[in-house]
Amino acid sequence: MMQGLSPLKLALSRCRGGFAAVAGFSFVINLLVLSTSIYMLQVYDRVLTGRSVETLVYLTLITTAALAAMGALEFFRSRLLVQLGTWIDRVLSPQVLGRGLENALRGSSYRTEALRDLATLRGYLGGGGIMALFDAPWMPLYLAFIFLLHPLLGLVALGGAIVLFGLALANNALTAGTLKQASAASARAYQAADAGFRNAEVIDGMGMGGVLARRWDAANASVLALQTTASDWAGVINAFTKPFRMFLQVAVLGLGAWLSLRHEVSPGAMIAASIIMSRALAPVEQAIATWKQTTAAREAWCRLDRLFEAPSLRPPGMELPRPQGRLSVDAVVYTPAGAKEPVLKNLSFAVPPGQVLAVIGPSAAGKSTLARLIVGMLSPQQGRVRLDGVDVFGWNRADFGSYVGYLPQDVELFPGTVRENIARMEQGDPAAIVAAARMAGVHEMILKLPNGYDTEIGEQGSVLSGGQRQRIGLARALYRRPALVVLDEPNSNLDAIGEEALNQGIAAMKEAGSTVVIVAHRPSLMVNVDCVLVLNEGQAQMFGPRDVVLAQLRRPEQQSAPPQVRVVSSERTGS
């Protein structure tokens, strides 16, 4: 593996052999293109003057064989480029997806667009734009052949090539910046539309469809205006390019006829020069015609390169043995990106293996942020969150995930079956899937679904109620009996029966030796709790055994607290 290269550049470097083969094919193809010109030259200069049918037959057979070989090489070249694009996509798409997930955790909007950019690169490798790039370097070969026919013909062809190159550069100068702005505006517009689709119920329920449509229309109009401007300039260039190339053919024919009348070239040379010049300038014309695709591919490359050049969210980490579940939070300070004040301030506590901790407190106290820190989604600016002494943020994620269960406030299920969602989108062990469902108290409910565990739940679990989604999400968190389980408001969508099943699940996890952290508001979840952490404005206001903390909270004033309860004054201490 080449050191210091991003995955994007490394993948392209591994394709050097394939691109070299494409360049070799291009060289042979461009040599074979000369066969038609040579055929014309020989027909006019030898066959017609010598009236030799045998020569005509042999020339025709040779030229036909050359054109057949050229067609085969064109097919192989195109096929190879498509295969290279497909291979690059297959190699990079998992890494792009992983970086997109990291961007989602960072709050960056460049996520699904990265996959679209990778698809843009793949499509460009199999399109006509890149063919022009491989054919353009052989233009001097054609120009040299024309110069051999006559220097004046070569000068006309060279002058035409310079003018067309100038048009290509003008096309880039006039459209590149506008297309870049249009691409960025389009990405913002689609992100806003995606947000609207995700909140379709809210938009429909409160009659916000018209507002969403107007916002989309305004954003889309801006995109269309930019694209129209770029297309107008490109249209002007294209409108001049084709007639100019045809004029060059006329000029070469006219000059060739004049030189032929002066007996400086043969009639065959006149025709051959016209055909060769047309082929020589074709890649430039094609590059101008496909400049929009080339620009889009270049912008996609730059965005992907920046994505891979950015540092990873966390180190790779190594696999570690299954933890016992000893959780410790040491002097943690966390400030979200763009915020001025920390959400958590100098927070410290520890939970032994097999105990249940309830985190309570008012809204915006930092409870959900603490839950994300415990499962390693976030990294504190100061302090550490450790599981069995290991920093959870630096733990190998696939390895860490097999030991941890997490149920967020907003439960997201994936398109697929109930079974796949419980097994975390793997095939899963049926016994472990049923055990997790039983522990979550959802087994009987699943059996009542149309196809039981094989029921397709639809996009984001649309065929399920909110309570059903939450209970299946709980079963997913309990899959394979994790050592640590973090539940953020696990009863927010549950009725009395669901809460009873949840409490039974917490008891079962506790009995199995799992450490459980519950972010809770309702006292009904305190049945199996061992200790309670009271958060207020990001600080630990109180931490200790459940009964003692709850009793202390019922008192009108926090005074004469038992020694096993740590009470922090409501006055702010330095963080």
Q: What is the CATH number of the domain that holds 500?
A: 3.40.50.300
DSSP letter at 361 equals: -
How is residue 530 written in tokens?
A: 């061992």
Average pLDDT over residues 430-455: 92
Compute the distance between CA of residue 14 and CA of residue 32 in angstroms, rounded to an integer. Answer: 29
Mark which of 309, 339, 360 sits at the end of a domain. 309
189-203, 270-284, 349-363, 554-568, range with greatest mean pLDDT = 349-363
Does residue 405 form part of some domain?
yes
CA of 503: how far to CAs of 67, 355, 508, in Å?
78, 14, 9
Q: Which residue did the predictor score with more confidence, 559 or 207? A: 207
This prediction has a pTM of 0.73
Task: Note whether residue 560 is domain-resident.
Answer: no
Same domain, 266 and 170: yes
In the block, residue with structure tokens 């394979």: 480
Q: Which whole-number Å values give the CA distances from 506 to 174, 202, 390, 491, in the listed order? A: 64, 33, 25, 12
| Backbone conformation region of residue 411, classed left if phi is above 0, alpha if psi is from -120 to 50, else beta | beta
Buried b (16+ CB within 10 A) or exposed e, 503-533: bbbbebbbeeebbbbbbbeeeebbebbbbbb
For residues 521 and 533, is the Cβ–Cβ distance under 8 A?
Answer: no
Count of helices and strands (H, E) across the chain: 20, 11
Of 309, 339, 374, the position where a domain reaches its end is 309
Average pLDDT, the chain: 85
Examine the pLDDT at 306 and tell me if it is beyond 60.
yes
- Tell me which long-range contacts 1-8 makes (C-beta under 8 A, separation of at least 24): 6/305, 6/308, 6/309, 7/91, 7/92, 7/95, 7/308, 8/92, 8/301, 8/304, 8/305, 8/308
- Among candidate residues 370, 379, 371, 385, the one with its CA nearest the CA of residue 327: 385
Is the pLDDT at 284 greater than 80, yes or no?
A: no
Claim to verify: residue 145 and residue 74 sit in the same structural domain? yes
When divided into structural domains, the chain yields a total of 2
**Same structural domain, 256 and 364:** no
Question: What's the pLDDT tens digit per position in 350-392?
Answer: 999 999 999 999 988 999 999 999 999 889 999 999 999 999 9
3-state SS, residue 441: coil
Q: Is residue 128 part of a domain?
A: yes
Q: Give the pLDDT confidence score for residue 339 in this predicted structure.
A: 85
Handedness of CA 529, 535, 538, 543 (dihedral sign): negative
pLDDT given for residue 381 in this prediction: 92
What is the structure's pLDDT at 403? 92
Largest CA distance in the chain: 122
Higher pLDDT, 221 or 317: 221
Is 314 contained in some domain? no
Claim to verify: residue 401 and residue 256 sit in the same structural domain: no
Q: Which residue would you say has higher pLDDT here, 559 or 192?
A: 192
Buried b vs exposed e over 20-44: b needs ≥16 C-beta within 10 Å? ebbeebbbebbebbbbbbbbbbbbb
Higher pLDDT, 57 or 294: 57
Residue 556: pLDDT band by 50, 70, 90 thresholds? low
Is it the case that residue 569 has pLDDT exceeding 50?
Answer: no
pLDDT at position 3:
53
Q: Is a pLDDT exceeding 50 seen at residue 558?
A: no
Higher pLDDT pick, 278 / 343: 343
Q: For 146-156, what is the mean pLDDT?
A: 88
Secondary structure E strands in 305-398:
327-334, 344-351, 356-360, 382-387, 390-391
Q: What is the pLDDT of residues 213-267, one digit of tens each?
A: 888 888 888 888 888 888 888 788 877 877 887 888 888 888 888 988 888 888 8
Residue 566: is its pLDDT beyond 70? Answer: no
Greatest mean pLDDT range, 38-47, 115-124, 159-168, 461-470: 115-124
Residue 572 pLDDT greater than 60, yes or no? no
How far is CA 248 from each of CA 233, 241, 551, rounded to the nearest angstrom? 23, 11, 95
pLDDT value of residue 460: 61
Distances, alpha carbon 303 to alpha carbons 209, 298, 417, in Å: 33, 9, 35
Q: Give 280's pLDDT tier (boundaries 50, 70, 90).
A: confident
Judge residue 393's burial from the number of C-beta atoms within 10 Å of its C-beta, 0-12 exposed, 13-18 middle, 19 or more buried: buried
- pLDDT, residue 281, reads 79
CA distance 250 to 257: 10
Question: Using only C-alpha atoms, what is the Rg of the chain?
Answer: 35
CATH number of the domain that residue 57 is part of: 1.20.1560.10
pLDDT at position 462 is 67
- What domain range is 33 assigned to? 7-309
559 falls within a domain: no
Identify whether 367 is part of a domain: yes
Distances (CA, A) of 415 to 425, 460, 575: 9, 6, 43
User: H/E element holding 516?
Assistant: strand 515-519
Are 513 and 550 in the same domain? yes
Report pLDDT digits (tens) over 101-127. Answer: 888 888 777 888 888 899 999 888 887
Comparing 8-12, 290-294, 555-559, 565-569, the range with the smallest average pLDDT is 565-569
The 3-state DSSP class for residue 193 equals helix
For residues 245 and 361, membership in a common domain is answered with no
Contacts of 424 (CB under 8 A, 6+ apart): 401, 476, 479
pLDDT at 225: 87
Same structural domain for residues 189 and 336? no
For the ranges 170-179, 389-398, 453-462, the one whose mean pLDDT is highest:
389-398
Q: Is residue 207 part of a domain?
A: yes
Q: What is the pLDDT of residue 328?
A: 96
Are 510 and 456 part of one and the same domain? Answer: yes
CA dihedral 280, 282, 288, 293 (to 10 degrees): -120
State residue 64's pLDDT score.
94
Using the CB atoms, write b or e for 425-459: b if 16+ within 10 Å.
eeebeeeebbbbbbbbbbbebbeebeeebebebee
249 and 356 fall within a common domain: no
Lowest mean pLDDT among 39-48, 102-111, 176-185, 202-211: 202-211
Question: What does the pLDDT read at residue 568?
Answer: 46
Q: What is the mean pLDDT of residues 506-532?
A: 89
Q: Residue 27: pLDDT above 80?
A: yes
Query: Are 127 and 166 in the same domain?
Result: yes
* pLDDT tens digits, one per residue of 323-335: 999 999 999 999 9
Q: Higher confidence at residue 369 or residue 460?
A: 369
Q: Is residue 483 assigned to a domain?
A: yes
The confidence band for 571, taking pLDDT boundaries of 50, 70 and 90, is very low
Of 348 and 462, the one with more pLDDT: 348
Mean pLDDT confidence for 387-406: 90
Same domain, 27 and 167: yes
- Does residue 559 carry a pLDDT above 70? no
- Inter-residue long-range contacts of 317-322, CB under 8 Å, 24+ positions, other chains counted: 317/394, 317/395, 317/396, 317/397, 317/399, 317/400, 318/396, 319/396, 319/399, 320/390, 320/395, 320/396, 320/399, 322/403, 322/483
Q: Answer whether 375's CB lies under 8 Å from 515's CB.
A: no
Q: What is the mean pLDDT of residues 280-295?
A: 77
Same domain, 362 and 235: no
As a whole-number percent, the residues of the chain with pLDDT over 90 amount to 31
**The pLDDT of residue 404 is above 90:** yes
Partners of 566 in the beta sheet? 543
**Residue 187 has what pLDDT?**
76
